[in-house]
A = this chain, B = another copy of it.
Amino acid sequence: MEKSALIKEIRSKGSYLCVGLDTDLTKIPHHLLKEKDPIFEFNKQIIDATEKYCVAYKPNTAFYEALGTKGWDALEKTLDYIPRNCFTIADAKRGDIGNTSGLYAKAFFETMNFDAVTVAPYMGQDSVVPFLCYPNKWVILLALTSNAGSNDFQEINLADGDKIYERVIKISSTWAGSEQMMYVVGATKAEMLLKIRELIPKHFLLVPGVGTQGGSLAEVSKYGLNDEVGLLVNSSRGIIYASSEQDFYKSAAIEASKIASEMKIYLDNCIN
């Protein structure tokens, strides 16, 4: 999907919400377990209920891999089911030496047809570039993550004064422009968005950690929005597990619509 199409979709829906499809057999409503493919059935009902309120879906591949080939099958079916006007992100955090990263790119961009894949930066340029060879496909690079362990390495000071995550952003933003590269920046570090926006004023940021992990949508939007929106904010558990009843999808729709309503206010204030 082109950047312009994504921005158009966000403006049309008044939402920059990404719904995380972290679908776990132990957490989905019990009545779905009798279905032939409970994971896909759950995702289908979540997608039907939330597509009005969001512009992107982000299945985290770990949840599907944990089930083996059945899980991959459910992931492929889910991707095929997502409406094509929605931006699709394989949250896979891959990265390997050049020829091998090329195969991950093939897995997510050819064998499956995701718009974007999350990539880990540790192995450097040749581990990222193979994903950038696909027109209108995106790399979403881990910069500053939302978990406790992000302090262990990402925030360490380098000899020249940068922190590691800042250096990751500075170097990697020379590999591709804001038409093909986004960055993961955790919502639990909202105040750091100010500095990150100085480094990459035009790039989209994918922001996890709003909701269950404690991040504030207001803060993230205040520091993160730019004149081309520039934000996708993800919520997973707070939406998809809002209820475990038969009509769980209604609760999911309500939670997604609440976030979208708040986003509309920030978009109206920021852009118009």
Contact = CB atoms under 8 A, between A and B. Distances in A.
Interface of A: 22, 24, 60, 62-63, 65-69, 72-73, 76, 91, 93-98, 100-101, 103-104, 106-107, 110-112, 120-128, 142, 145-154, 156-159, 161, 164, 167-168, 171
Contact of A150 (B22, B106, B123, B152): B123
Contacts of A153: 121-122, 124, 164, 167-168, 171
Nearest to A91: B96
B67 A111 contact: yes
Contacts of A111: 65-68
Contacts of A101: 62
Q: How many copies does the complex hold?
A: 2
A137 to B, nearest CB: 15
Contacts of A158: 156-159
B120 A148 contact: no
Contacts of A120: 93, 95, 120, 122-123
Given A62-B104, A66-B111, A68-B111, 5 more contacts: A62-B101, A66-B110, A120-B122, A122-B145, A153-B164
Contact of A147 (B22, B98, B121): B98
B125 A66 contact: no
Contacts of A65: 103-104, 107, 111
A122 B125 contact: no
Nearest to A159: B157
26 contacts: A60-B100, A62-B107, A63-B100, A65-B103, A65-B104, A65-B111, A66-B110, A66-B111, A67-B111, A68-B72, A68-B76, A69-B69, A69-B72, A93-B123, A97-B147, A98-B147, A98-B148, A121-B153, A122-B153, A123-B147, A128-B149, A153-B164, A153-B168, A156-B159, A156-B167, A157-B158
